[in-house]
């Protein structure tokens, strides 16, 4: 079955530590997104990528980094510069921007907690 997988489901980070969240999709989608979700708030865009080897900052990119070396993969690194990283992280993909509008497909999420 096609879909988006995120791992791990739960992640714990110590102060000063970098951690990487995995996102993989087998939908053959061009665009991929990372969102952060905090209680009572809407999804906030961290980074997005429309094509391999290219990505753009979203609204809250500070303290995060990404790479897009393969079409199927879009990992997110939460660096020690991110002072309040405890949140639910969602990865999404989109078939492309031509035609449409198209809905985003979401992964199951990773819950990151700072110890």
Question: Minimum Å distance from CB 77 to other proteins?
Answer: 20
Question: Minimum Å distance from CB 105 to other proteins?
Answer: 7
**Which stretches of the chain bind other proteins, using CB under 8 A?**
4, 6, 31, 33, 35, 40-45, 48, 50, 56, 58, 88, 90, 97, 100-109, 111
Residues ≥6 apart with Cβ < 8 Å to 101: none
List phi, psi (to 5°) of 44: -115, 135
Closest CA to 86 of 115, 65, 109: 115
Question: Minimum Å distance from CB 29 to other proteins?
Answer: 13
DSSP state of 62: T
Q: Beta strand pairing status for 64-66 and 87-94?
A: unpaired
Return the number of the residue (20 or 108) whose C-beta is nearest other proteins. Answer: 108
Return the number of the residue (2 or 42) whose C-beta is nearest other proteins. Answer: 42
Question: Minimum Å distance from CB 27 to other proteins?
Answer: 13
Return the number of the residue (5 or 17) whose C-beta is nearest other proteins. Answer: 5
Return the number of the residue (19 or 48) whose C-beta is nearest other proteins. Answer: 48
CA distances from 39 to 86, 90, 97, 98, 111 (A): 11, 13, 30, 33, 12
């Amino acid at each position: 079955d096609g879909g988006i997988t995120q791992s791990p489901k739960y992640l714990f980070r110590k102060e000063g530590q970098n951690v990487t969240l995995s996102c993989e999709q087998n939908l053959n989608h061009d665009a991929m997104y990372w969102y952060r979700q905090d209680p009572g708030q809407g999804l906030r865009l961290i980074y997005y990528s429309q094509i391999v080897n290219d990505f753009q900052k979203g609204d809250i990119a500070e303290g995060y980094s990404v790479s897009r070396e393969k079409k199927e993969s879009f990992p997110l690194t939460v660096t020690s510069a991110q002072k309040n990283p405890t949140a639910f992280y969602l990865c999404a993909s989109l078939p492309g921007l031509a035609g449409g509008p198209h809905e985003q497909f979401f992964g199951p999420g990773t819950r990151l907690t700072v110890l």
